[in-house]
């Protein structure tokens, strides 16, 4: 038998959880944690589920409670589960997603695969980005539309990659491009490497391979050294997107595309304005309920002041680099 403890939380808390953090070190064995929405498109209505081999006591409950401060004095729901493979059962409730030419599923729910799609297997659990949320689906549709228009991408990065899903999708669309994925959470980078192996994506630094780094924003020598990028994907949150505007804009090549998501309709104009100040214009918008995906393009500059910076292929144009 196993036990499940459930507490309410916010999306921000769910994304900030360190699934291998010090709060859980005192628990042996450590519980398995899963987070999910309880009300679609409501960032205040999420929940944290902790699975234990034995009934959780006061110490276990207190440790889990520290992960979600908004739960306050909310009474945890503790229930005994039948002797089943509950991890597979929990993932079987995640429906596959068909977005453009992509079909995303878990190992527990492959469903009926449509003809002519690229399948990607992404497990729910330690990192975000299974394709089920509008932000991820909107990015997949935006990438698909770019490829359908014949846009060429030679050097791309997925910032805040989560599970690696968007990086894998972009690599499928532009298989000879240099590709990079990064996340502030080292666990997400580990998960991306695991998912890369599942989906046949090669890790490495060459064309058609995926380079990985754990870093806040672009604060890593690998990420700086591989710039400028002609495609940047950042599916995070509105606040971090605004904070990252100077560095992401500087890392984007002239004429390059920036795809941003993780923002609500009411936040879209403020995010777009943050990038307009750095020479980007809003080129498109993919509406997905309350969660739009924005596509921005960097305006070209000309003249003697145009600077150059080496890229992965030995050359590249990169005006306006800052101190990032």
Tell me the binding residues for S-adenosyl-L-methionine.
136, 160, 183, 235
Provide the pairing of β-strand 2-9 with 77-81: antiparallel
d(CA 90, CA 87): 5
Q: Which among 123, 198, 196 is positioned nearest to 158, based on CA atoms?
A: 196
Radius of gyration of the chain (CA): 20
Q: What proportions of the chain, in percent to the nearest 5, are helix, strand and coil?
A: 30, 25, 45
Tracing tokens 């589960």 back to the chain, one arrives at 81
User: CB neighbours (10 Å) of residue 222?
Assistant: 14
Helices marked H in 120-267:
134-148, 165-173, 186-198, 221-225, 238-243, 245-251
d(CA 159, CA 41): 22
């Amino acid at each position: 038998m196993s036990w499940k403890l459930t507490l309410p939380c916010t999306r921000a808390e769910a994304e900030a959880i360190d699934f291998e953090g010090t709060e859980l070190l005192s628990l042996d064995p450590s519980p398995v944690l899963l987070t999910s929405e309880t009300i679609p498109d409501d960032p205040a209505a999420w929940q944290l589920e902790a699975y234990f081999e034995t009934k959780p006591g006061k110490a276990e409950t207190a440790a889990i409670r520290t992960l979600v401060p908004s739960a306050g004095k909310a009474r945890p729901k503790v229930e005994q589960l039948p002797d089943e493979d509950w991890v597979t059962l929990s993932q079987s409730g995640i429906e596959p997603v068909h977005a453009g030419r992509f079909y995303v599923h878990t190992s527990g729910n492959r469903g009926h695969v449509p003809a002519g799609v690229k399948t990607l297997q992404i497990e729910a659990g330690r990192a975000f980005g299974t394709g089920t949320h509008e932000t991820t689906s909107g990015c997949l549709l935006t990438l698909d539309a770019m490829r359908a228009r014949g846009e060429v991408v030679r050097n791309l990065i997925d910032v805040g990659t989560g599970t690696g899903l968007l990086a894998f999708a972009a690599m499928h669309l532009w298989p000879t491009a240099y590709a990079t994925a990064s996340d502030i959470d080292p666990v997400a980078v580990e998960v991306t490497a695991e998912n890369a192996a599942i989906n046949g994506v090669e890790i490495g630094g060459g064309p058609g391979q995926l380079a990985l780094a754990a870093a806040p924003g672009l604060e890593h020598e690998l990420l700086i050294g591989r710039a400028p990028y002609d495609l940047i994907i950042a599916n995070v949150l509105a606040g971090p997107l605004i904070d990252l505007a100077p560095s992401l804009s500087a890392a984007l090549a002239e004429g390059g595309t920036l795809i941003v998501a993780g923002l609500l309709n009411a936040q879209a104009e403020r995010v777009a304005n943050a990038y307009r100040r750095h020479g980007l214009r809003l080129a498109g918008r993919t509406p997905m309920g309350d969660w739009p995906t924005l596509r921005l393009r960097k305006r070209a500059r000309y003249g003697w002041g145009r600077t150059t910076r080496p890229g992965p292929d030995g050359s590249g144009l990169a005006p306006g680099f800052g101190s990032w």
